[in-house]
Amino acid sequence: MSGPGISSSGAWLRAARDLPRDKADTLLLIFSSALVLVPHAAHFPVWITLCAAATLAWRAAITLRGKRLPPLALLLPLSLLAMGGVYASFHTLLGREAGVAMLALLLAFKLLEMHARRDLFVVIFLSFFLLLTSFFYSQSMAAALLMIATVIVLLTAQLSFQYAGAQPPLARRLQLAARIFAMAAPLALLLFVAFPRIQGPLWGLPGDGHGGRTGLSDSMAPGNISNLAQSGETAFRVRFDGPAPAQNTLYWRGIVLGDYDGRTWTRLRGNREGKVNVALRGPKLRYHVTLEPNGGRWLFALDLPARVDGLEHGTYRASPALELSLPEPIDARLRYDASSVADYSLQADASAEQLLAWRALPAGYNPRTLAWGARLAATYKPEAAIQAVLTSFHKDNYSYTLQPPLLGKHAVDEFLFDSKAGFCEHYAGAFVVLMRAMGLPARVVTGYQGGELNPVDGYLTVSQSDAHAWAEVWLPGRGWLRFDPTAAVAPERIESSLARALPPSAPFGSRALGALMDVRPAWLTALRFDWSAVNNAWNQWVLDYNPERQRGVLDELAADFGNLRSLLGAGAVLALLWLALALRRRQHGDRLDLLYGAFCQAQARRGYARAPSEGPHDYAARLAARPLAAEKKAAAARFLAIYAAIKYGVVSPAEKAAALKAMARLITLSR
């Protein structure tokens, strides 16, 4: 015996099937409009999303209950109120955010004002336009797949209003809409590949450059990197020419910080211009970087970068500390080739004057740290003192956490001697202060450490959660050397990942992430890698299909074809294949047209020729007004009705075959 829930759901299905055609078509249009608004919901103020949803629900209720649409006297104040709300939220009615929000509300209100057939198509075309604007917010493959599904539903709604006679079932209409989309796809693909492109992102507007971008900045204070490390966004992807290096060697050099005011580290002003003095030894590791837009100017390369090539536009600059930067912000995905070496000597012959700024400390801060540094300098040689500090970090109950306690004026003192809990920026900053207290030149380097290798496409994905800070210390005869105090406190962070390095007291979300990484089934991991590879291919070949890449693709195609004659020959073969398919598909259509032609010729011989602009319905009406026998008029009317149903309607192959036989008999009867 079925329960009440099952019977009620069955009643809903029966009610949906029994809806009159106009109500069913209107509900389909409302549903397609709702699909159009779904990608925008997360980017609108809450009141706009709720207002649009309530308006669509109101329109659906009017349709189901058969009520009258609201009068213009009500719609006009509502529209003005919505316009005022948009202005209050965005302080303008122009621009991307305000304009799209206004269009969304207008679409919802237009559904309440559909009095004529023309209004239906206004809603459909406005929906198509609004659907395109969703690419302003996301151009991911998931967004594109949702857009394709929505386009097919919109086409189905449009087709539903086009049928003058009997309407095929919804499944058949969806199938026809999908076929129309599939027929247009090859031409769209050809235009995408071959149509001349302009420099810049596929979708964007002026002013899109800096909003909402996530990435490293050119300063560091407690909490900066720990906040960034909680973001799962991709920073860049890397493909190596050979095997990927070990995880603990993946230090992606970014920004070098030397000025310290007691709390915040910034770039050293005198380090921004000058000659790069570096000696590179050993083999070069070559790789290719795809950098995500972040609004900054920094390029990232493995420590130590030797060369950067293949920038699609512009040139880079290298500071004396080997920071790589561009003159303009990175507002679109950027690809470049780079090479690095593991054995190097950076500024080994630097003079005391050049190193003076790297020893500076602000007066009146961190007296306990200064005293510890003085004791270390008096007791140990530089290399031994550095090792003593790292050993202390490892053994003296220091902890690695995303949520360290707040620090006061003497932040380094409180961290080293009281809380002993911090993130990488705490350890790197405190280590550099301690080195300078010993009299050694030292500085902070920020960038990324590690990454996740995808076995499907061979790309290493470096996320914002891999953001990291470490230290460099200058030693006589050896130059600047990298030291990472985080590796002494939490070696799991360097050897594996951030999630596994966090202690039990870390936030639940991060611990849950680490637990999931340990117990994730193999099939789920494989699925995640597959999806990441597909997204990467989408980024590389669709979103980043710029003029340079288009030129390369077309050059490769030209080289593959060899010469123009080969290209023309291939085009001729494709044209012949298309013609053969078209002729095959028209075979049944030719039989129908032959019968129609025979009918028209028979009537012309009787003096009732069809005018060139006359359709079957008008022709039938004219024949009915002529002085013909009743049985001949009936046969002619029946013939033309069957012809119109087959030509412009949807019939099954069996129905079509039977109708063609009937038409042949009716020609004889109508003579």
Burial class (CB in 10 A: 0-12, 13-18, 19+), 556: exposed
**Amino acid, res. 5:** G
Scan for tokens 């030291």, then name that residue: 483
Phi then psi for 307, rounded to 5 degrees?
-165, 150
Residue 623 CB coordination number (10 Å): 20
What is the distance between the alpha carbons of residues 382 and 359, in angstroms, rounded to a whole number?
14
Picking from 464, 495, 469, the residue whose alpha carbon sits closest to that of residue 484 is 469
The CA-CA-CA angle for residues 410, 256, 459, to 5°, reads 120
What is the distance between the alpha carbons of residues 131 and 147, in angstroms, rounded to a whole number?
7
Q: In angstroms, how far is the first alpha carbon of the chain from the final one?
A: 63
What is the distance between the alpha carbons of residues 446 and 494, in angstroms, rounded to a whole number?
15
* Sheet order of strands, 298-299 included: 298-299, 324-325, 317-318
Phi then psi for 629, rounded to 5 degrees?
-65, 150
Secondary structure percentages of the chain, helix, strand, coil, to 5: 55, 15, 30
What is the distance between the alpha carbons of residues 541 and 66, in angstroms, rounded to a whole number?
50
What is the distance between the alpha carbons of residues 195 and 551, in angstroms, rounded to a whole number?
11
User: Which two tokens mark 81?
Assistant: 């109120």
> Hey, which bits of 148-260 come out as E strands?
219-220, 234-240, 251-257, 259-260
What is the distance between the alpha carbons of residues 270 and 282, in angstroms, rounded to a whole number?
30
- 471 with 484: CB under 8 angstroms? yes
Q: Is 484 labeled as catalytic in the residue annotation? A: yes
User: Which two tokens mark 58?
Assistant: 């109101």
- 621 with 661: CB under 8 angstroms? no
What is the distance between the alpha carbons of residues 342 and 234, in angstroms, rounded to a whole number?
25
Q: Which residues contact 602 (CB under 8 A, 6 or more apart)?
A: 667, 670, 671
CA distances (Å), origin 620, targets 163, 238, 442, 610, 658: 20, 70, 95, 10, 21
Handedness of CA 460, 461, 465, 469 (dihedral sign): positive
Q: Is 232 helix (H, G, I), strand (E, B) or coil?
A: coil
At how many degrees (to 10) do helices 630-648 and 653-670 cross? 150
Q: Which of 424, 426, 466, 544 is catalytic?
A: 424
Scan for tokens 């620090």, then name that residue: 407
Q: Is 424 labeled as catalytic in the residue annotation? A: yes
What is the distance between the alpha carbons of residues 301 and 340, in angstroms, rounded to a whole number?
7
CA 245 to chain centre: 29
Picking from 486, 454, 494, 457, the residue whose alpha carbon sits closest to that of residue 469 is 486
Burial class (CB in 10 A: 0-12, 13-18, 19+), 511: middle
Q: Which of 303, 466, 484, 544 is catalytic?
A: 484
User: Which two tokens mark 573?
Assistant: 């073969």
CA 383 to chain centre: 48
What is the distance between the alpha carbons of residues 238 and 551, in angstroms, rounded to a whole number?
23
User: Which two tokens mark 29?
Assistant: 């249009």
Which residues are annotated as catalytic?
424, 468, 484
